[in-house]
Structure 1
Amino acid sequence: MRATARITATAVGGATALPVLDGDGPFELRRSRSYGGQARVCVLGAMSAPLGGDRLRIEVTAEQGAHLHVTSAAATVALRGPTREHATYDVRLTVAEGARLHWLPKPLISAARSNLRQTCAVDLATTARLVLREEQVLGRAHEPPGRLTGRLTVRRDGRLLLDQRTEYGPGAASWDGPAVLGGHRAVGQLLVVDPALAGERSGVRLFGGDPGAGEAVLTPLTGPAILVTAVAPDLLALRRLLDAAHMIYNVKANGS
């Protein structure tokens, strides 16, 4: 199956309109109630996907001055499907001058014997703001994970801000060793790019005092931006770590 969904947000008189809301294949796009000047969209899964051989893509554009929040209704589950060919799931996010995008989908679950290649490419204008969260669960309950390869590329004002590649599951080198996941099965990250962080000199910060319960590290990036990477035994512990780091960003952004 090949499917592409498109979302475009436009600033109109202090609010944000959605002139393009085009779902396709497994993607059903639903408007949620707006919050202030922020438009909200929820991605619903109309069928099981991605399966082996699927080619899926989501394109999101926040035009100048727009404020867009995108989430999903449920976790995405990567399954083997009728073919052993890998599936692809590509996300393209574009945020213009003065625009804000919150990309906060539910977790991705890599089921046994699946093979998914996921990419996320982000293009930001100089005054754009982005909050991006990714959460991945390796294997459903009492099963091993499938193969999951991911790449996150972020450019700000045409310059590379972040280029990160990850590989987990069968065939990936040392993915479950102490230098990568250390036996954990939930991994995630939170990326914040915001001009309000300019001039911040805070260093690396650790979250979580018990390695067995999960740990996270907040790293400042040149941007201005921060990246939080977390590993945990389960999704609940992972979300707690990412939420704690997000709270730190909110304090900085609000000048408290």
Structure 2
Amino acid sequence: MSGVHATARIRACADGRGGTALPVLDGDGPLAVRRTRAAGDEARVMLVGAMSGPLGGDRFRVEAEVGGGARLHVGSAAATIALPGQLKDEAHYAVRLTVADGGELRWLPEPLISARGSELYVTTHADLAPGARLVLREEQVLGRAGEEPGRLTSRLVLRVGGKTVLDQELACGPGAPGGWDGPAVLGGHRAVGQLVVVRPEFAERPVAARIVGEHAALVPLAGPAALVTAVAPDGLRLRRVLDEALADLG
């Protein structure tokens, strides 16, 4: 007996008329992809969960590729909830993002919620050309209201021009290395998020490191990129902090 395996694929390219075309827009099983109304030259796509999950043993994968001159915005219709399943294996959710020179991707899904008894390993790999642009937001909420979290491990890798500028991993919940809920990591908070912004102009004018809000920090990365890391008591306040940080970056 095995879990559900599902893949969604999105490919965006310049349409030659100042807009963005979507020659590939495909999803199967619980991963449905829907095109929504464009905003100017930016194509917009929504990820729609057609089933509960991911559950134990499931393997989900989302691939998004943006060509030169194309602009793509990807969101999700609702939060993703990691749930326990009949299988005792951990679930996996992999995201692979590729952006070419002159392309721009805004990856802004709704939060991932780690429900009690679940075990999920999330990986996000973003591979950008030197002249690409990216706004990437990740939000994780540990447990639903009044609930202890499941086990959640999240890894985020960013490469620009073939060089790794960010590779970080965080494990939370039962069985995670000790100290994950202590003052050096979450400090008792139940929502954690990252915002990555990549712009070619950051190579010449890096952002200045600073505190953003009460429990968030903005730091430059070793490349044309900036990282905001934040914790908050809940998902609503986490979103507010990340939105403020993005506005602060212009």
Fold similarity call, TM over 0.5 = yes
- Partner residue in 1 for 2:199: 194
Aligned partners of 1:202, 1:61: CA distance in 2, in Å?
27
The reply on whether 1:132 has 2:136 as its aligned counterpart is yes
Alignment of 1:96-245 (within 5 A): 96-173=100-177, 174-209=179-214, 215-245=215-245
Per-residue CA deviation, residues 175-199 of structure 1 (Å, 9 max, x unaligned), is: 1011000000000010000012232
**Following superposition, which runs of at least 4 residues in structure 1 exceed 6 angstroms of deviation?**
none
Cα gap change, 1:100/1:201 in structure 2, threshold over 3 Å: closer, same or farther? closer
Per-residue CA deviation, residues 145-182 of structure 1 (Å, 9 max, x unaligned), is: 00001111111111111111110001112110110000
- Partner residue in 2 for 1:11: 14
Q: Tell me the SS of whatever aligns to 1:160.
A: strand
Query: Which of 14, 28, 31 is the aligned partner of 2:35?
Result: 31
Q: Amino acid of the residue matched to residue 201 of structure 2?
A: A
Q: Amino acid of the residue matched to residue 48 of structure 2?
A: L
For residue 208 of structure 1, report the CA deviation from its aligned partner: 2.3
Q: Tell me the SS of whatever aligns to 1:57.
A: strand
Q: Tell me the SS of whatever aligns to 1:142.
A: coil
Q: TM-score when scaled to structure 1?
A: 0.94
2:206 and 2:224 in contact (8 A); partners too: no
Aligned partners of 1:248, 1:157: CA distance in 2, in Å?
26
**Which residues of structure 1 form unaligned runs of 5+?**
210-214, 251-256
Q: TM-score when scaled to structure 2?
A: 0.96
Equivalent pairs, count:
245
- Partner residue in 2 for 1:2: 5
Alignment of 1:67-82 (within 5 A): 67-82=71-86
The reply on whether 1:83 has 2:87 as its aligned counterpart is yes
For residue 200 of structure 1, report the CA deviation from its aligned partner: 2.2
Alignment of 1:40-55 (within 5 A): 40-55=44-59
For residue 239 of structure 1, report the CA deviation from its aligned partner: 1.0
Q: Tell me the SS of whatever aligns to 1:222.
A: coil
For residue 28 of structure 1, report the CA deviation from its aligned partner: 1.1
Aligned partners of 1:131, 1:208: CA distance in 2, in Å?
19
**Which residues of structure 2 form unaligned runs of 5+?**
none
2:207 and 2:226 in contact (8 A); partners too: no
The reply on whether 1:58 has 2:54 as its aligned counterpart is no
Per-residue CA deviation, residues 76-105 of structure 1 (Å, 9 max, x unaligned), is: 000011111100000000000100000000
Aligned partners of 2:53, 2:66: CA distance in 1, in Å?
26
